[in-house]
Each structure stands twice: as C-alpha cells, then as structure tokens.
Structure 1
Amino acid sequence: MEKAREARYRTIYKQLKEKIESGEYKQGNRIKTEKELQEEYGVSRDTIRRALSHLENEDYIVKRPALGTFVKHKKSDYQLSKMESFTEQMKSRGIAPSSEIISIELVSNPERQVVRELLLGEEEKCYRITRIRKGDESPMAYEIAYIPQKLCPNLQKYLDDTSSLYQIYEEVYHLRMGDGRIRLEADMPGIEIQKSLGIAHDAPVLRMECTTLLEDETPLYYVECYYIGAKYYFSTVLPRK
C-alpha cells in the first residue's frame, strides 16, 4: 500500500512537472487548487501536497498565501561575456520581450553622473527614457536610459513598446557599437520602482549601471537598470590568465 501511494505521488509530480516544462502551464500562471487536483487525480490531499511540495522544493512553483499556487518564473541568465540587448536576451530564452514606456524626455540639465559618462558639453542635451522591461508580459526590470541627442536626433519617433534601442542605434542611425562598461550591486529600490515592478518593499534588486561606447569610443548611452532579484542572475566565464 505504501509503495502504491509513493508511486502515485511521483506520477502526479512528474505529470505536473512535464506540463510546466512543456509550457502548458506558463510562467506566472496559477495552477489548480489542492482540492481541484485531488478530484482530478482521485487521490488524497496528502498525496497532492507531497507532489506540490516536491515541485516547490525544485523551484517550479511558488505558493502565495490567499492567492494560490503559481508557476515560478525561471531566472534569466544575463551573461556578461558579450553586449546583448534586453530584447536579444529574452528572445534567446524563448521569452516574448516588450516594454511599457513611462516617459521620454529631452533633458538639458542631466545629473553629473550622466554628464560624466556621456561626456556631454555644457549646451548638449540628452534623451532620458524610462521603461518597464517585460518578459511574457511580466515585469523584469525598471530601466532609465540616457542617449545624447546629437547621436540620435528625433529618437522619440522610432520608440514604442516593442522597440529595441540596440536595433534603432544600428538600423536607423547606422551606429557601430563597441565595448560596454558594467557595474553591478545589490540595492533596495524606492517606492516608485517597487510599485512599477510589483515587488515587496523589502525585495532586493540587482542594480546595473552600463555605459556603452561606439567603435571610436564615443559614449553612446548610459543606463541605470533595476532587475528583479528573483528573476535574474548574472554569469560570466573568467579565464585563468
């Protein structure tokens, strides 16, 4: 009898896992309640709980009090071995990228950090673009990008919720991108970012500062991006010599 119960629990666990991995249960979807699963499989609640507990331990699902059980978002690997746009990152992982544009401004007096990174002259302006970056319609990061107006005039004409800035740089303005400098640190975001990303007040984020240059080393853009810590990790390969 005990072996039969063990086999039944593992069968349910494997079937639910297969539905998640195949995409039948998509990331962020709420799965059936314990009672619904109990009725579907004709087993005890304890058997269902064992199967769900196994999935939770393997990071496939997350239980949210009073809301239900949801398919957990897999963390995206931001590889630091090459310059890659958010759009390219998402597409390479089979995730549909999009953005929610909060504002597009032409700024005449940016912060000192922006002036230093972009080497702006006294009279030079830059665009400040604030967006929520999404994967499969779910918030992934809060981004503030600064681009010199002289390099990308009328930038606002080409930007919408599906645009990739990298693609605009290369295909509209025919700019040849070079190296990028990246700095990463853990951070506790302000209220506006918390609300925009739908995260708790005590949820950490990964804050990235990135300055990307053209091939002739002219600064092309400077970006501050706040990645949801539960959805991202950063990786690279370090040579011995």
Structure 2
Amino acid sequence: MEFKERTAAVQVQEYLEFLIHFKKVKELPSQREISEKLQVSRNAVKHALDGLKNEGQVLVKERTGIISNNKIDINMLGMESMTTEFKNKTVSIKHLATTIETMPKRLDHFFNSKGSVIKIERVRFVKDIALTYEITYFSQKNFSKMAKIDFTNKSLYEVLEKEYHVRPSYGKESISCFLADKKISSLLKVKQGTPLYQVNSFNYQDDDLPIESTIQYLVGNKFKYHFNANNIYDYQEE
C-alpha cells in the first residue's frame, strides 16, 4: 500500500478542525499566524479556508477575522431524543399540526398494519433560528393519546414515557441529501435548493414492537453526524 504525505492545505484544515471541534475555539488565528505556525504558504491557508467555508465550518469576515461556525454534533448510534442531542442549547419547538391519516405504504411493513397513523409536524428552533422540520408517525391504534397533545416545547419521548411507560431502545436510521423545496424552505427560512440532511428513522421497543417513525429535514451547514465504535469489525447492520 502506498501512502502519500498530507498536503499543506490538508494540514491547515486538520489544524483548524482540531481548534474548532476539540479546543472549542471561537476566534481562530489569522491567516498570517496560521501560515507562520505551520510553516506553510498563505495560498495553502487560503485553500484550506475556502474548503472549510464551503462546508460551513468557518466564517471569514472583514475586521472580525476567522470565526468558527460550530455545528450541532449528533451521535448516529445514539437513542437520545433530538432535544437531548441539542445539549445545552436554548431549544424551542413549534407544533405545526397533528392529523389522522391513512397508513403510508412505505410504513406498512414497519407498523405491520394498514390502519391509520397519527402524523405530527413540528419545527425546532435554537435561539429563534429554525433548524429542523420533523414529521413523526405513530400507530393510532397503539398511541391514540398522542393525537390529543400539543407538542409545543414538549419532547415526544418524554410524553411517551409518561403516558405509555415506553421508550425507544433501538432503531434504524438512514441519512441522505435533500434540496429544500418550496414548503420546507419557507418553514426553515432558507432558499429553495439549500442542501439539507434528510434523516429517516424507525424506532422500536425492546420486544421489537414499533414505536414511531420520523422524517427530519436538517439545515445541512448547522449539523454534523458521528459514530464511535470500539471494534469496527464487529459492527453489523442487523
């Protein structure tokens, strides 16, 4: 196997990502300071910054300098609620609508039923900035109380635990890219065509009984996903 040395631009990018994500530095060194510290050219620094700007990790402003744009870090393998994933950030939730609908075909297998579903739509804000649009489905037969609750500033999982004494213990999740359409761009206050994460999740109880399925649309440059595994060779999808 052939290994290649890291380019100067890659070294700069890794250094800045270390400052942003591990040292939690808000105001980053100037381009000149970075160049001198790493002994690389200013062009290499500029190239690395252009890449980080395109990813939404840094902002470069006149008179202010280079500012880190910390993303909300979400554990792909975790079973925490989105509210918990936002950690200590000031989160507010706007409940848009709850409706009773015919079971979508794509959820027939998950719910093992052709009955009706409760569809709950919400938008989640951090410091009054809309970050996620969420659509959650519950079986009406098993979770009828959920249709009567106003979920403004309420956690779905906390209500589930209180009303039904259940909590998701495992789930399946897929992540893809979605370009904001007219409806979602209006809800999230972004331009049409803005890249979003589309996250489809299916969550179960210990006894393999389905609890809920959710589609989330997350503003792409505000989030990052990660997972930790002690032994990647033992990892299995099923």
> TM-score range with shorter-chain normalisation?
0.5 to 0.7
Q: Structure 2 CA distance, aligned partners of 1:118 and 1:223?
A: 13
| 1:183-207 residue CA offsets vs partner (Å, 9 max, x unmatched) | 0011112210011001111210000
Q: Structure 2 CA distance, aligned partners of 1:128 and 1:144?
A: 7
Matched, 1:202 2:232: no
3-state secondary structure, aligned to 2:202: strand
Q: Size of the alignment, in residue pairs?
A: 175
Matched, 1:84 2:80: yes
| 1:160-215 residue CA offsets vs partner (Å, 9 max, x unmatched) | 31110010111221114221100001111221001100111121000000000011
Partner of 1:110: 103
Q: Structure 2 CA distance, aligned partners of 1:50 and 1:144?
A: 40
**Consecutive unaligned residues in structure 2, runs of 5 or more:** 1-25, 28-60, 234-238
Which amino acid in 1 is paired with 2:194?
A: A
Q: Structure 2 CA distance, aligned partners of 1:173 and 1:97?
A: 25
Partner of 2:63: 51
Distance 1:115 1:189, change over 3 A: farther
Matches within 5 A, 1:1-241: 51-52=63-64, 54-55=65-66, 58-60=67-69, 74-90=70-86, 92=87, 94-107=88-101, 109-120=102-113, 122=114, 124-238=115-229, 239-241=231-233
Deviation at 1:150, TM superposition (A): 2.3
Distance 1:154 1:191, change over 3 A: same
3-state secondary structure, aligned to 2:232: coil
Which amino acid in 2 is paired with 1:78?
A: I
Which amino acid in 2 is paired with 1:102?
A: L
Q: Structure 1 CA distance, aligned partners of 2:157 and 2:135?
A: 15
Query: Quick check: which has more Rg, 1 or 2?
Result: 1
Q: Structure 2 CA distance, aligned partners of 1:98 and 1:173?
A: 24
Distance 1:50 1:176, change over 3 A: closer
TM-score, normalised relative to structure 2 = 0.68
3-state secondary structure, aligned to 1:145: strand
Deviation at 1:50, TM superposition (A): 5.1
Q: Structure 2 CA distance, aligned partners of 1:157 and 1:128?
A: 12
| 1:118-137 residue CA offsets vs partner (Å, 9 max, x unmatched) | 222x3x22100011111222
3-state secondary structure, aligned to 2:169: strand
3-state secondary structure, aligned to 1:51: coil
Q: Structure 2 CA distance, aligned partners of 1:163 and 1:156?
A: 14
Q: Structure 1 CA distance, aligned partners of 2:62 and 2:92?
A: 37
> Cα RMSD between the aligned structures?
2.0
Partner of 1:10: none
